[in-house]
Amino acid sequence: MALAEFSPCSYSRSQTLTSNLSSARSIAIDVHLFHRPRFSLRLRRQLNISCSVAPSQIQLPPPTVRPADAANKRECYGVFCTTYDLREDDKTKSWKSLISIAVSGAAGMISNHLLFKLASGEVFGPDQPISLRLLGSERSYQALEGVAMELEDSLYPLLREVSIGVNPYDIFEDAEWALLNGAKPRGPGMERAGLLDINGQIFAEQGKALNAVASRTVKVIVVGNPCNTNALICLKNAPNIPAKNFHALTRLDENRAKCQLALKAGVFYDKVSNVTIWGNHSTTQVPDFLNAKINGIPVKEVITDTKWLEQEFTERVQKRGGVLIQKWGRSSAASTAVSIVDGIRSLVTPTPEGDWFSSGVYTNENPYGIAEDIVFSMPCRSKGDGDYELVKNVEIDDFLRERLKKTEAELLAEKRCVAHLTGEGNAFCDLPEDTMLPGEL
């Protein structure tokens, strides 16, 4: 089987809506509200394209280092070009230092909801100024400008800088958070293996860019599907960033599971806790009712319909996205954005005592017997410092273990399918069945 690898053409077309933060307490900005925005267009050399003629020749390209002459020239735009000193502004004296957040797929529907939540202070707090770095494509560049204009018109005081561009090496520079929403949707007739390869190449390139230019402590949340394996590809291409810093988004699945348990029990969903989504973000995912609680009581003591829990509950969570598409004609965007916010807040806010949250994380040294070296959704706790620890006191019975093995097997098969993108040699696809979630079709 001949396999081809390529890295997308890397070129820089970026415009920065910036406040030129000179220190944690001072910002320099200039206002030119009516000036026509200017663009800096620089062509970067095309990355090598290598096509293997035999599986034995497949190799991971060497780590990409940003060229020394690739200095990023940014220009301000509109209201983001105002000049003043934060030290003279009583309102901002207690603010924290600016943090940089990179968002890929920034012109897409999910980002259209997410960016305004970030800019409003809902995510990082009312005293946390932010810089938004928005990554798109040549096709979406005008849409990125439109997004920037809407952010400008929203007058968010915490939004101090906005950059837009198509080159991840520019957009990811010094990023402290990277929210990777952008991925190719699955087209008609496309096999899952094909989607893994196409999107895997995107996330391999973005992993290299993060490795080259992002903060060494950057936290990465992969949303683009198949998100578990995309996160694995990304972290494998970013060896200078701790693998623990990469997450695959399974929080929407957790939120859906909480909603279904609340509906069945006749309570509001804030009474539901300790819900875990195990495994892959696919129809093999395992919504865990064994360890979940309602009003602090084990779910199985509140909902005694075992058949419903073992069959209908799981199916409802897995197929919720497909039902939404049938009703509305589009996949979930707003609720996905909310779940990204929930996922970030779970990392920057101490987890309530006795509770936990779900996230797809690297499995090395996990306490559950899950195979190592994959990204698998598991129960996590955080002290609010951006880091997390796996929850140890979790019950796993025979029913749950059987399902964990199935989703584990799927992720191991996906890993083999993208070996050419993770530096592990020959790629071999033996996916057991097509388990893509309805929203990915």
Active site residues: 281
Q: Which helix (H) or strand (E) holds 390?
A: strand 389-390
- Which residues are bridge partners to 42 per DSSP? 12
CB 27 within 8 A of CB 131: no
Placement of tokens 């899950």 in the chain: 370
CB 438 within 8 A of CB 429: no
- The torsion angles phi and psi of 226, rounded to 5 degrees, stand at -75, 110
In the structure, how many helices (H) and strands (E) does the chain have?
12, 18
What sign does the dihedral 157-161-164-170 (CA atoms) show? negative
> Any idea what the Cα angle at residue 331 is, between residues 143 and 258, rounded to 5°?
125
Alpha helices (runs of H) in 177-330, residue ranges in sequence order: 192-213, 227-236, 251-265, 299-302, 306-307, 314-328
Q: Which helix (H) or strand (E) holds 287?
A: strand 286-288
Question: Which amino acid type is present at position 226?
Answer: P
Structure tokens at 396: 């796993």
